[in-house]
Amino acid sequence: MLAAILVSGHAAGTETASEPEDARLGDLLSLLDNETELATRSGMNADFVPGMATILSGADMLVRGARTVWEALSLVPGISQGLEMTGERQILSRGVGFGYASGNIKLLLDGVSMNSTLLATANPVLNIPIEQVERIEVIRGPGSSVHGEYAFAGVVNVITRRNDRTLQAQANERAAAGGGGIWHWSDPQRELSASINLTGLAGNGGVPVAEDALFPIGEPALSNAPGSSNEASRYLGGFADLRWRDTFIALKVLDDDYGDHFGINHFLPPSDDRLASEQRYVSVQIGQDLILSEALDARIRLESLQFERSREQLYVFPPSYFDAQPVYLDQDYGETRYLGAADLHWRGWDRHLVLLGVEASRVQVDRASWNWFNLPFEVPETWLDTALDRRILSAILQDEIRASERVTVTAALRLDDYSDLGAFLTPRLAAVWRIDDSNILKLQYAQAFRPPTFYEQAYPGRDSIGAGEIATYELGYILKQPRWEGRLILFQSDLTDPIVFGEDDDGFINNDDARLRGVELEYRIRLGTRVKIDANLSYVDAVSRGTDASLPGGTDILGNLALLWHPVESWTAAIQLRYVGDRSRPEFDPRPSVSGYTTADLTLSYQRQGPGFFANLGVKNLTDEDVRYPDLPTGFGGIDLLYPDGYPRPGRRWWLSVGYAF
């Protein structure tokens, strides 16, 4: 049947674009070219940038049932999801990114880096509701030649909505509910504009848990299982922008609180809806765009980012494990990062666009303390050296060379000099050949590095740990037609000294080198004026070079299939299918792989052009599939203290998002 649909779609491609329905469908059913600065820091059509860039429209993601940035990213080829035992979201790119308290993907929010130096993660960014998102730009593979640290397995830039005037409310079964709004004002005569984007959500939730880590060791009497995971949550996201002529000021506040889910040592916490963890970001950015001459323009930025992470009554050990009382942990951490940067674009040579960028940043630990309750022995009051300080000086040189009217070569080199780790040099060389209006061929070689975080450096028993590195070769091909397009990318990545959490009490280590090989396919088609199909399929063979064992946490096959149907004006129905294959466990874990799954999400959306009421009603996991994520070894107890079947995730559930556009 699918073959018949695709054949009919090719036939539909011969219809004229002047059909009256086309003007009313907007972006949801169209195949649009998108411009991005993510790959090169210069505006360029996403089809022509080095490597493969994916741009997700916030409106399209909402219609397809994605509720957060984290859920939307799973619709990108090669991207899969994971979960840390106390609730932090994980994203794996091409099988890389699984591990305790570690991030391997650069996360930007409106171009501002949000990765903390403590863990290299940015959990609140992944929890941003789609209602606040204009679009998400994604690059799979190395991005350090432009974006520096943590752009190891990919780069994600979340662009928030600014130019709307809406009020909205949302509710999710077994999850958070709340609302917010977006307000925009502009004075064209004064070249002045301002916007504010606010959303607040709160709720209690959890999933049934039959057995926790106490069952395999024969201590079920100490357990809170059978019970429910503690997935209480509270989110506040506020983004404000002020622009006057070429000057811009941006303020971002993210406050993300959540329960302790499955317990930091895999002992199921009491189901009391406590908010055990809090992460807060406050970012201020001031910048200016300068036109220095016809051939030279610049952007200057000053940024401040304050990151706070606290734990309150985090459930660590059950009663009678050490004593008659359960053991809880309070933890407090804060760091501040300052950054100054300047980018210059020069067009002084014919057929050249030269980028020269310089950056200087400093990260310092403000505080790091903890308190243990009911622990039968004493521990130090601080768990991290508060004198930690990291200064980075960076320089970027990039040349986009138009070798001919159809061939562009991009060469980039970035130097990052760390006060505590030394210097890293990351190159990229790419070529894009626009064979004709329908065919595009891409070649790229890129390197990236991943420095150890403060937490990895300070983990007990870890005297020294070096940076991980990756080198990737890519061959891409794009075939475009008026009503359909296909994309193919072949890649190989070689990982050197990747940072992972080792077996038992090894802590963080530089693991054996690894190799990734894979292929990613994308296909989008419009069938007439009312139906669009968006599909992708990816395969990766990710293995350790030393043992030829599969890298843990990832899967070899991922697939997405979305069908969007516009039956009548203002109404859209969508079904989103997602397939995730079996996921591998660490080599030292004798348990079988975590079983794969296929989920179906159904969404019905109503929105008129212009002002008026809009609504989205959906069902997640329509078939009530049993979905589980691989559990993470944490060092304490080794593989003896793990969940027998991984972390269960919610079954079938409904959600609703309504609002009014002014």
Instruction: Retrieve residue 476's tokens.
Output: 């891409």
Whether residue 287 has pLDDT greater than 50: yes
Contact indicator for 33, 427 with CB cutoff of 8 Å: no
- Which among 339, 378, 345, 334 is positioned nearest to 359, based on CA atoms? 339
Whether residue 14 has pLDDT greater than 90: no
What is the chain's mean pLDDT, rounded? 91
Whether residue 5 has pLDDT greater than 80: no
The C-alpha angle 80, 203, 274, rounded to 5 degrees, equals 95
Instruction: Give 515-565 pLDDT, tens digit per residue.
Output: 999 999 999 999 988 999 999 999 999 999 988 999 999 999 999 999 999
Considering the domain boundaries, does residue 278 fall inside one? no
3-state secondary structure of 201: strand
Considering the domain boundaries, does residue 277 fall inside one? no
Q: Put residue 50 in one of left, alpha, beta given phi > 0 → left and psi -120 to 50 → alpha.
A: beta
Considering the domain boundaries, does residue 153 fall inside one? yes
Residue type, 82: G
Write down the pLDDT at residue 46: 84
Q: Which of 413-434 are b and which e, b meaning 16 or more Cβ less than 10 Å from the residue's Cβ?
A: bbebebeebeebebebbbbbeb
Distance (Å) of CA 341 to CA 105, 302, 385, 416, 491: 21, 7, 28, 13, 32
In the chain, the percentage of residues whose pLDDT exceeds 70 is 93
Element (H, E) at 80: strand 79-83
Considering the domain boundaries, does residue 276 fall inside one? no
The C-alpha angle 455, 461, 465, rounded to 5 degrees, equals 60
Contact indicator for 184, 194 with CB cutoff of 8 Å: yes
- Measured between alpha carbons, how far is 122 from 90 in angstroms, rounded to an integer? 10
- Average pLDDT for 588-600: 93
27 vs 332: which has the higher pLDDT: 332
CA atoms in the 13 A half-sphere facing the CB of 551: 30
Instruction: Retrieve residue 125's tokens.
Output: 């960014």
pTM (two decimals):
0.94
- Measured between alpha carbons, how far is 108 from 339 in angstroms, rounded to an integer? 14
Considering the domain boundaries, does residue 279 fall inside one? no
- Measured between alpha carbons, how far is 116 from 256 in angstroms, rounded to an integer? 14
Residue type, 654: W
- Average pLDDT for 297-304: 97
Whether residue 100 has pLDDT greater than 80: no
Considering the domain boundaries, does residue 8 fall inside one? yes
Write down the pLDDT at residue 51: 86
- Average pLDDT for 333-356: 95
Q: How many domains does the chain have?
A: 1
Write down the pLDDT at residue 11: 41
Write down the pLDDT at residue 23: 38
- Measured between alpha carbons, how far is 213 from 100 in angstroms, rounded to an integer? 17
Write down the pLDDT at residue 52: 85
**DSSP at 204:** -
Instruction: Retrieve residue 238's tokens.
Output: 């506020």
Q: Which residues on adjacent β-strands are paired with residue 468?
A: 450
Residue type, 390: R
Beta strand ranges found along 461-530 (DSSP E): 468-480, 484-496, 499-501, 508-510, 514-527
In the chain, the percentage of residues whose pLDDT exceeds 90 is 77
Whether residue 35 has pLDDT greater than 60: yes
3-state secondary structure 525-551: EEECCCEEEEEEEEEEEEEECCCCCEC
According to DSSP, the β-strands at 154-160 and 106-109 are parallel
Instruction: Give 357-395 pLDDT, tens digit per residue.
Output: 999 999 999 999 999 999 888 888 888 888 889 999 999
Write down the pLDDT at residue 25: 46
Write down the pLDDT at residue 378: 86
Considering the domain boundaries, does residue 603 fall inside one? yes
Write down the pLDDT at residue 633: 77
Distance (Å) of CA 304 to CA 6, 105, 187, 197: 50, 21, 28, 20
* Contacts of 182 by beta carbon, 8 Å cutoff, 6+ apart: 132, 161, 162, 164, 165, 166, 195, 196, 197, 198
- Measured between alpha carbons, how far is 459 from 457 in angstroms, rounded to an integer? 6
Q: Put residue 567 in one of left, alpha, beta given phi > 0 → left and psi -120 to 50 → alpha.
A: alpha
Query: The CATH number of the domain where 630 resides is what?
Result: 2.40.170.20
**DSSP at 323:** S
Whether residue 649 has pLDDT greater than 60: yes
Instruction: Give 317-341 pLDDT, tens digit per residue.
Output: 999 888 789 999 999 999 999 999 9
Instruction: Retrieve residue 315's tokens.
Output: 């459930």
Write down the pLDDT at residue 638: 61
Considering the domain boundaries, does residue 307 fall inside one? yes
**DSSP at 594:** B
Count of all residues that appear for the chain in the document: 662
What is the domain extent for residue 438? Answer: 2-270+284-661
